Amino acid sequence: MKKEIAIGIDIGGTNTDYGLVDSEGKCYVKKSLRTDVSENAETFLDILCDDLKKSITEKNGNFEIKGIGVGAPNGNFFTGKIEFAPNLKWKGVIPLVGMIEERMNLPVVMTNDANAAAYGEMIYGAAKGMKDFIVITLGTGLGSGIVINGEMVYGHDGFAGELGHTVVDPEGRMCGCGKKGCLEMYASATGIVKTMHELFDTRKESSSLRKIERPKLTSKDIFLAAQTGDTLALEAFELTGKYLGIKLADAVLFSSPEAIILFGGLARAGEFIFKPTKKYMEEYLLPIYKNKVSLLPSELDKENAAVLGAAALVWKYTVKK
Amino acid sequence: MKKEIAIGIDIGGTNTDYGLVDSEGKCYVKKSLRTDVSENAETFLDILCDDLKKSITEKNGNFEIKGIGVGAPNGNFFTGKIEFAPNLKWKGVIPLVGMIEERMNLPVVMTNDANAAAYGEMIYGAAKGMKDFIVITLGTGLGSGIVINGEMVYGHDGFAGELGHTVVDPEGRMCGCGKKGCLEMYASATGIVKTMHELFDTRKESSSLRKIERPKLTSKDIFLAAQTGDTLALEAFELTGKYLGIKLADAVLFSSPEAIILFGGLARAGEFIFKPTKKYMEEYLLPIYKNKVSLLPSELDKENAAVLGAAALVWKYTVKK
């Protein structure tokens, strides 16, 4: 019998990864193509789909391809279109799902990257068996995927679940979106660096990080310094967890999830970020919620997480059980 | 043919109202009983159900009773129990749904009062035909009912939708729940009075309200003063709308609803509260949401709103269509 396989495609501004994944999350083929060398989506999809077909042909004797899942910035689940994605060269509205279906003759489902991460946790990861959970992706920005009663929350237009732009401080840090005080300016790789800069200016403690040229300071530097016990680096994590924890308490009051899962680079700082986040989340919860919501790390393999998330869409939507 | 009727029961700390309501929202019988005279739930339900049976018997020739919907403080939809309601004399956990079913031999559904308001808008009011909306009840406190894809959001334990306790300011006003800075300490009848007190202390403008003894000042006084153009009263509404609007923007980022409906006493202040709330909500929305979310007043008849909300539960859950 042939093995049932889902194709997961993760479209990013620089690279696009794809993988052939089975229903247990095993990734058989994994490839990466440059996104930014193609001036328009047509050219890129011609290259991508040719490559995909080759990969499939090589395995065709053994695999039965069930469908294609796509995670893409600003990917709209309802319309199948990428709409004005700031990180992609291709401008305007791109009917990506239709364009891939035409080329591949397979069912295609698309969602945005943070929602793809949430499908990944649902099918393969930390949220297996859960019906109510939230995934927070802590990368350069902060994304979120909210699952209620087993279904992703899309809202009336497909744009729900943008917790990165909820407000920490109405007069706070300027965000790329044009608003002030968005959560992703505090709780993200970008955010913790900004917090570190503020601590340099407002505190006197010595720190190995003061030696690094300001524009070159990264969240990884802060993590490494925290591991050596650097007071200011530890405080930057404490503050980042405070900002995040208080907003997660708001999210719990909204949908009362069983768990919140932290995904992405900053989440891999482990207890440095989990401990203060949990502390402040609990502090700002109503008594009825206290100690009932688990704060968990992603259980997706780091290297394949985005491709697994995209592939999960296929098992969720196109395969009849 | 007999008319199909739902019984709606609204349990409050002081009074309990019930009504016999048809599927169009017409209320045929409406009665009010004292809740607080009964020391325990058994005694109260004996009195209530005897009264209900009499009302039904009087109309029995014409009515076919389809079921009973109950809106109650801390009423849990999943368990059918009222759990530790601070405003009721009956303490602990009360299996209310089972107790009414036993006495009435009819299907019974219960939810909390804010969710009942949301069912009311869904079946009879401003949210008819909508699948994604949020109802905010602005009374002494702030309650909320969140509907996503046609279903009330209950979360994994039935406690979802407590937006009144999301955080405006982590170091802000002390809330009855034990936390600081909860939204209901700012955007509610209680909240606007607190804001007015702050304005008295920090501003010099004259105001007719300064003559009122502080503990006696009500939100209605502020509304009446605003109608006369009182500068500080108008500013109290502006600030209340600011607090509320910014948190509603957060809620839009969560579930991207088609509309947010304001319900209850403070919402009846009309433009005084709607205008600033809308302004600040729009200001703190991402561009993709701007001018897409309607901010609407409740369309339920004020006198019967709570009973209609409870009755709506019957049409939503117990009547097969």
The residue of B166, B168, B182, B285 whose CB has the most chain A CBs within 10 angstroms, and thus the best one to mutate to test that interface, is B166
Are B165 and A251 an interchain contact pair (Cβ–Cβ within 8 Å)? no
Judge residue A87's burial from the number of C-beta atoms within 10 Å of its C-beta, 0-12 exposed, 13-18 middle, 19 or more buried. Answer: middle
Nearest to A157 among B148, B251, B292 (CB): B292
Q: Can you tell me the mean pLDDT for A7-34?
A: 95
Residue A60 confidence (pLDDT) above 70: no
Contacts of B165 in chain A (CB under 8 A): 253, 286
CA distance to partner chain A, nearest, from residue B167 (Å): 7
Nearest to A286 among B131, B165, B258 (CB): B165
Q: Can you tell me the mean pLDDT for A172-183?
A: 95
Residue B108 confidence (pLDDT) above 90: yes
Residue A27: other Cβ atoms inside 10 A: 16
CA distance to partner chain B, nearest, from residue A32 (Å): 31
Residue B86 confidence (pLDDT) above 80: no
The residue of B76, B93, B111, B148 whose CB has the most chain A CBs within 10 angstroms, and thus the best one to mutate to test that interface, is B148
Q: For residue B87, what pLDDT is reported?
A: 78
Query: Would you call B24 helix, strand, or coil by DSSP?
Result: coil
CA distance to partner chain A, nearest, from residue B141 (Å): 15
Q: For residue B272, what pLDDT is reported?
A: 98
Q: Is A61 on the interface with B (CB under 8 A)?
A: no
Tokens of B292: 């897409």
Q: What percent of chain B has pLDDT over 70?
A: 99
**For residue B47, which amino acid is it?**
I
The better pLDDT of the pair B84, A157 is held by A157
Residues A111, A72: Cα–Cα separation, whole Å? 6
Q: Can you tell me the mean pLDDT for A19-28?
A: 95
CA distance to partner chain A, nearest, from residue B63 (Å): 36
Are B157 and A250 an interchain contact pair (Cβ–Cβ within 8 Å)? no
Cα atoms in the 13 Å half-sphere on the side-chain side of B165: 25
Contacts of A170 in chain B (CB under 8 A): 246, 284
Q: Can you tell me the mean pLDDT for A216-230?
A: 97
pLDDT digits over A111-122, tens only? 999 999 999 999
Name the pTM for this structure.
0.94
Q: Is B291 on the interface with A (CB under 8 A)?
A: no
Residue B85 confidence (pLDDT) above 90: no
Cα atoms in the 13 Å half-sphere on the side-chain side of B51: 19
Judging by DSSP bridges, how do beta strands A75-76 and A81-83 pair with one another?
antiparallel
Closest chain A CA to residue B250: A166
Closest chain B CA to residue A182: B284
pLDDT band at A313 (very low <50, low <70, confident <90, very high): very high
CA distance to partner chain A, nearest, from residue B248 (Å): 10
Residue A181: other Cβ atoms inside 10 A: 19
Q: For residue A162, what pLDDT is reported?
A: 95
The rounded mean pLDDT for chain B is 94
Contacts of B137 (CB under 8 A, 6+ apart): B113, B114, B117, B143, B144, B145, B263, B264
Q: For residue B319, what pLDDT is reported?
A: 72
Judging by DSSP bridges, how do beta strands A133-138 and A259-263 pair with one another?
parallel
Residue B169 has phi, psi (to 5 degrees) of -150, 115
Are B177 and A287 an interchain contact pair (Cβ–Cβ within 8 Å)? yes
pLDDT band at A13 (very low <50, low <70, confident <90, very high): confident
pLDDT band at B265 (very low <50, low <70, confident <90, very high): very high
What residue has token string 């308490």? A249
Q: For residue B92, what pLDDT is reported?
A: 85
- Domains parsed from chain B with CATH numbers: 3-122+303-317 (3.30.420.40), 129-299 (3.30.420.40)
Q: For residue B102, what pLDDT is reported?
A: 96
Q: Can you tell me the mean pLDDT for B188-212?
A: 96
Contacts of B153 in chain A (CB under 8 A): 148, 254-256
Are B254 and A257 an interchain contact pair (Cβ–Cβ within 8 Å)? no
Q: For residue B52, what pLDDT is reported?
A: 96
Tokens of A144: 């979120």
Q: For residue B302, what pLDDT is reported?
A: 87
Residue A15 confidence (pLDDT) above 70: yes
Residue A1 confidence (pLDDT) above 90: no
Closest chain B CA to residue A248: B166
Q: Can you tell me the mean pLDDT for A253-282?
A: 97
Are B159 and A288 an interchain contact pair (Cβ–Cβ within 8 Å)? yes
Judge residue A224's burial from the number of C-beta atoms within 10 Å of its C-beta, 0-12 exposed, 13-18 middle, 19 or more buried. Answer: middle
Query: Would you call B9 helix, strand, or coil by DSSP?
Result: strand
* DSSP letter assigned to residue B180: B
Q: For residue A320, what pLDDT is reported?
A: 58
Q: How many CB pairs under 8 A join A and B?
A: 121
Q: For residue A315, what pLDDT is reported?
A: 95
Q: Is B222 on the interface with A (CB under 8 A)?
A: no
Orientation of helix A96-104 relative to helix A41-59, angle to 10°: 40
Q: Can you tell me the mean pLDDT for B310-314?
A: 97
Among residues B228, B256, B260, B258, which one has the least CA distance to residue B241? B260
**For residue A261, which amino acid is it?**
I
Are A162 and B257 an interchain contact pair (Cβ–Cβ within 8 Å)? no
3-class SS letters over chain A: CCEEEEEEEEECCCEEEEEEEECCCCEEEEEEEECCCCCCHHHHHHHHHHHHHHHHHHHCCCEEEEEEEEECCCEECCCCEEECCCCCCCCCEECHHHHHHHHHCCCEEEECHHHHHHHHHHHHCCCCCCCCEEEEEECCCEEEEEEECCEECCCCCCCCCCHHHCECCCCCCECCCCCECEHHHCCCHHHHHHHHHHHHHHCCCCCHHHHCCHHHCCHHHHHHHHHCCCHHHHHHHHHHHHHHHHHHHHHHHHHCCCEEEEECHHHHHCHHHHHHHHHHHHHCCCHHHCCCCEEEECCCCHHHHHHHHHHHHHHHHCCCC
Q: For residue B60, what pLDDT is reported?
A: 67
Are A254 and B254 an interchain contact pair (Cβ–Cβ within 8 Å)? yes
Residues A241, A284: Cα–Cα separation, whole Å? 13
The residue of B179, B253, B284, B285 whose CB has the most chain A CBs within 10 angstroms, and thus the best one to mutate to test that interface, is B253
The residue of B288, B289, B292, B294 whose CB has the most chain A CBs within 10 angstroms, and thus the best one to mutate to test that interface, is B288
The better pLDDT of the pair B284, A60 is held by B284
What residue has token string 């969560």? B254
**For residue B270, which amino acid is it?**
G
Q: Is B287 on the interface with A (CB under 8 A)?
A: yes
Residue B308 confidence (pLDDT) above 60: yes
Contacts of A40 (CB under 8 A, 6+ apart): A89, A90
Contacts of A153 in chain B (CB under 8 A): 148, 254-256
Q: What is the edge-to-edge ordering of all strands in the sheet holding B259-263?
A: B151-152, B142-148, B133-138, B259-263, B294-297
Are A250 and B166 an interchain contact pair (Cβ–Cβ within 8 Å)? yes
Q: Is A176 on the interface with B (CB under 8 A)?
A: no
| Sign of the CA dihedral with B282 first, then B284, B286, and B289 last | negative
Closest chain B CA to residue A144: B254
Q: Is A202 on the interface with B (CB under 8 A)?
A: no
Query: Would you call B150 helix, strand, or coil by DSSP?
Result: coil
Are residues A185 and A194 in contact, defined by beta-carbon separation less than 8 angstroms?
A: yes
Residue B56 confidence (pLDDT) above 60: yes
Closest chain A CA to residue B180: A284
Q: Can you tell me the mean pLDDT for A18-46?
A: 94
Q: For residue A222, what pLDDT is reported?
A: 98
Are A165 and B257 an interchain contact pair (Cβ–Cβ within 8 Å)? no
Q: For residue A23, what pLDDT is reported?
A: 94
Query: Would you call B275 helix, strand, or coil by DSSP?
Result: helix
Residues A120, A127: Cα–Cα separation, whole Å? 9
Residue A321 confidence (pLDDT) above 60: no
Judging by DSSP bridges, how do beta strands B3-11 and B15-21 pair with one another?
antiparallel
Rounded alpha-carbon distances, angstroms, from residue A37 to A19, A23, A175, A231, B144: 20, 32, 28, 43, 49
Residue B227 confidence (pLDDT) above 60: yes
Are A177 and B286 an interchain contact pair (Cβ–Cβ within 8 Å)? yes
Residues B49, A302: Cα–Cα separation, whole Å? 60
